[in-house]
A and B are shown apart, each in its own frame.
Chain A
Amino acid sequence: MTTPTLQETSLPKTAAASSRREQVLRRLDWTFPAQPVDRELIEVLPDDPDLAKPPLLFVHGAWHGAWCWQQHWMAAAAAQGWRTYAVSLRGHGGSSRPDRFELAGLRHYQHDVLQSITQLPSPPVLIGHSMGGAVVQGVLERYRSAPAGVLLASVPPRHGLGVVPSLLRHDPKMLAQALAGREVTPRTSTLYGPAMEEIEAQRHIERMGDEAWLATQQLVLPRRVPDVRAPLLVLGGELDRLVSPHAVVRTARTYGARARLFRGMGHQLMLEPDWKAVLDVTLSWLEDTVVR
């Protein structure tokens, strides 16, 4: 196995993030608060936790659940002293499905993440993958105490329209299923890079559930850019067909952060064979950024 080398973009000259508008009037959350659900919050804790390291809270992407972090990342991070937690958003993984799940949107998922945060011993680093990245961006605006955020192959802040031409070319069936709010049957190469074993990939794909129709539309259509002030690490895969390297770089630019791209990797950075390289970059950045 070859260790992927990194492609790195330079830091943009101006960081425009601070002049953004934070949403403080949350009328939708006040008048139609998210329905309470039973949430799955998986924890993998080191025997001897390093209390200088903040807890890590992982947020999965569309169609997935907390299980995708459990596969490799949580145990590996815990072995280095990190307290790791992963939440399943409503209707995903082991969390219960609310009434009218199809109308669950990003604000409901943000509610799930905030509820999980209140159960943690101290402010966590938020790590989001794909749709979870969009959720994390929203939570970081509202929850300022997070010491840092990590966006893995994250849906970009302004809109996710880039996914449409890419999937039209490569996997139009999945695109149609996704936008219709149906269960998706993606091709392996849509989600995974070439290094992934077909059998293992299929095993993960079979575990995928469905996604809320509203959330899917929100990911693609234009959105307000959240006012994120926490330090951010933005990572992506070179061969990602859902979130292109271009989109990753754009995300980093928007927040004045640095983007790092992994050669030969697809969308599933925490499940593909080179997951450890991505985790190592993440943890060493966190060591430099948040560990006192």
Chain B
Amino acid sequence: MTTDRTDRHLVIGAGSSGLAAAKSLRERGFVVDVVEREPEVGGNWNFAAENSRVYASTHMISSKPFTQFPDFPMADADPDYLHHEQVLAYLQRYARHFGLYDVIEFRTQVDACRPLDTVVGPGRSGWEVELTGPDGTEVRHYASLVVANGHNWSPKVPQYPGQDTFTGEILHSAGYKSGDQLAGKRVVVVGAGNTGCDIVVEAAQRAVSAHHSTRRAYWYSPKYAMGRPSDQVSDLIFSLRLPLRATQAIFATTAKLVVGKYERFGLPTPDHRFLETHPIVNQQLLYYVGHGAIQPVADIDHFESDAVVFTDGTRVEADLVVFATGYLIRFPFLPDDALPGQPGRPELYRNVFSPDRDDLFVVGLIQPDSGQFCLVNWQAVMVAAFLELQRDDPGAARRYLDEARDKIHERAQGGVALIDSTRHYVEVEHADYIRVLQREIRSIEGRARRAVAV
């Protein structure tokens, strides 16, 4: 039994991105269904969810003004950096205020999506979607898909020689929920992302010993500078719009003044300039290194049955190795060829549009050097504006995507040459990206106005 809902759009996922997409589309008069696998909104921030990757101590690492939705600020009563429970409460308030609970089907999972031109006949746009909900499996047809399934849930697990013979426990940070898992153990944490740094700090507090293995040296930024959230201070420096080298020099000088030489802590000196890797915001890491509670070590060379050996020859006996090595981008419900590029590395225009399809949009697939929700809001507005253009003038929408194909490799990374790593595949510099989105929205709306005027 197939239900025809080609007058509607389907948003997959009711996390922060899905909520923003549903709100923006409804704001412009589109009818939207949202499906969510869990019984509550929040996605990654819904601690109870199976695919949530937040742990008991997770707090935001960008401060409120950068993180909040621009039209729905976080409460004055909330702190500068919200705890994950406060973020969830915020997303729930957002969903309630904009009436999104009325359009979300909970406990409903998308099993597979097929383009309608392969099902019904060539030339048809839209999607056939197979869903499993509380009432069983059903098939529906939708005008378009807005994919908001998140990109921080499918663990990327490295393989080192001897890893299988290691008798201790190996855990990806995806399975890390609280410091209890570290108590009384000799712990090695691999990876210096924000999660890795959080976990190694908790290991310093709870574990018998804590070793921190990183492939390269990083810049560690404090959460506060001059008594204010440090991103608010650094954005002040960005807003001067100095040449990149000058900005980098200011940050490096500040780091020298505040932290001093990293070697002093037994840490290697960063091999790259400031801003060339995703920022790591952690005020406690260096503190515990300085107190001897965290031992920095190099990359892993191989495992032995009861120990880890690092590339510098250090051998550390360990009970638990935590891989905070990041996540893979995955769309398990989409056909492999739905998005251009290789699997896990989709090539999208402005991280949203597939130039080949006018009925498939991805929102939230960014890793900003700042807050996420604010940027996703503008992605969602852009998708809504595109759908308006498509409704009023399908040819103009088509032409917009054709032009996008030629510009697909443009990245909004603030002119910085980021270190080549899967970690930076969807990295964006927030001010650069927001300017780019504003330009796209204006371009799309300009085309729509011309379409209406004709």
Which A178-227 residues have C-beta < 8 A from chain B? none
Residue in A18, A36, A123, A142 whose beta carbon sits within 8 Å of that of B98 in the complex: A123
Residue in A21, A26, A31, A39 whose beta carbon sits within 8 Å of that of B70 in the complex: A26
Q: Which of B64, B73, B93, B239 has the most CB of A within 10 A?
A: B73
Which B426-450 residues have C-beta < 8 A from chain A? 431, 434-435, 437-438, 442, 445-446, 449
> Does the CB pair A115–B73 fall under 8 Å?
yes
A120-B97 contact in complex given A25-B434, A27-B235, C-beta closer than 8 Å = yes
* Any A CB within 8 A of the CB of B72: yes
A interface residues, tally (CB under 8 Å): 29
Rounded to whole angstroms, the CA-CA distance of A121 and B97 in the bound complex is 5
Residue in A120, A142, A144 whose beta carbon sits within 8 Å of that of B27 in the complex: A144
Task: For the complex formed, measure the closest distance between the CB of B221 and the CB atoms of chain A, giving whole angstroms.
Answer: 16
Task: For the complex formed, measure the closest distance between the CB of A137 and the CB atoms of chain B, giving whole angstroms.
Answer: 15
Which A34-52 residues have C-beta < 8 A from chain B? 36-37, 39
Residues in chain A near residue B97, CB distance under 8 A: 117-118, 120-123
* Any A CB within 8 A of the CB of B65: yes
A30-B71 contact in complex given A25-B434, A120-B97, A145-B98, C-beta closer than 8 Å = no
Q: Which of B72, B76, B231, B438 has the most CB of A within 10 A?
A: B76
A24-B437 contact in complex given A33-B65, A36-B77, A111-B73, C-beta closer than 8 Å = yes
Rounded to whole angstroms, the CA-CA distance of A19 and B443 in the bound complex is 11
> Does the CB pair B71–A145 fall under 8 Å?
yes
> Does the CB pair B75–A114 fall under 8 Å?
no
* Any B CB within 8 A of the CB of A275: no
> Does the CB pair A24–B72 fall under 8 Å?
no
Which B44-100 residues have C-beta < 8 A from chain A? 64-66, 70-73, 75-77, 93, 96-99
> Does the CB pair B70–A24 fall under 8 Å?
yes
* Any A CB within 8 A of the CB of B220: no
* Any A CB within 8 A of the CB of B119: no
B interface residues, tally (CB under 8 Å): 33
* Any B CB within 8 A of the CB of A29: yes
Which B287-328 residues have C-beta < 8 A from chain A? none
Residue in B27, B76, B231 whose beta carbon sits within 8 Å of that of A36 in the complex: B76
Task: For the complex formed, measure the closest distance between the CB of B369 and the CB atoms of chain A, giving whole angstroms.
Answer: 13
Residues in chain B near residue A145, CB distance under 8 A: 23, 27, 71, 98
> Does the CB pair B73–A118 fall under 8 Å?
yes
Residue numbers of B with Cβ under 8 A of A are 23, 27, 64-66, 70-73, 75-77, 93, 96-99, 231-233, 235-236, 239, 378, 431, 434-435, 437-438, 442, 445-446, 449
22 A–B contacts from the bound complex (CB under 8 Å): A18-B445, A22-B438, A24-B378, A24-B435, A27-B235, A29-B65, A30-B235, A31-B233, A33-B65, A33-B232, A36-B76, A36-B77, A37-B76, A115-B75, A118-B75, A118-B93, A122-B98, A123-B98, A142-B70, A144-B27, A144-B71, A145-B98
